[in-house]
Amino acid sequence: MDIVVTIGLKEITGVTIRKSDDLDNAYIYTIETTDGTFQFRLWDSIVLRVLNENEEYVYTDSSIKEDDVDWQGLKNYTIDTIKSLLKAPSTAKFPGSWLDPFYGWDLGRSGNIVELSSYVDSQNSFGAMIRAYFTVQYKVDGSKYTPVFIYFDGNVILNSR
């Protein structure tokens, strides 16, 4: 993996590989190094993101955004969809900023399926801030995007693939 060199990992001491629970064609490589433990998330052999042991992004593939998909529109639609699943949607905080709107988001495409994955911090029913991870897949038909898979906080909400 060239990405190992790109992010500056030196000596690999162990590797485990497991299939992602929420996505087809996705694998999570846990790589132990002298620098710490890192998780590489791959989808269709593309490294989408690398997280360190503090779950901070050390690499996110942003090159996938440059195509005919309306990624910003899909991101906004995904945010609205995820907010509808929250106990306190007004407290929701998603990653990304004005300068880098896709920071903390994984984007992928395989044929006519596009995928957005990220996390949201929001209050639960007790008022505590919690982090929930999600993945939403859409079927692309021209300029029409239909949700076909939603995975939120460990649960499959929609699966019509």
Q: Could you report the per-residue pLDDT of 16-42, keeping only the tens digit for each?
A: 888 876 556 677 888 888 888 888 877
DSSP SS3 for 6: helix
Q: Where among 40, 60, 80 does a domain terminate?
A: 60
pLDDT tens digits, 137-148:
999 888 889 999
Question: What domain range is 136 assigned to?
Answer: 63-159
158: β partners: 150
Q: What is the pLDDT of residue 44?
A: 63
Question: Do residues 136 and 74 both lie within one domain?
Answer: yes
Q: Report the CATH number that the domain containing residue 140 is assigned in CATH.
A: 3.10.450
Average pLDDT of the segment spanning 62-87: 83
Question: Do residues 91 and 131 both lie within one domain?
Answer: yes
What token pair was written down for 59?
Answer: 């690499």
Residue 33 has, within 13 A of its CA and on its CB side, a CA count of 19
Question: Do residues 32 and 88 both lie within one domain?
Answer: no
Q: Based on the structure, what is the number of domains in the chain?
A: 2
Question: Do residues 84 and 155 both lie within one domain?
Answer: yes
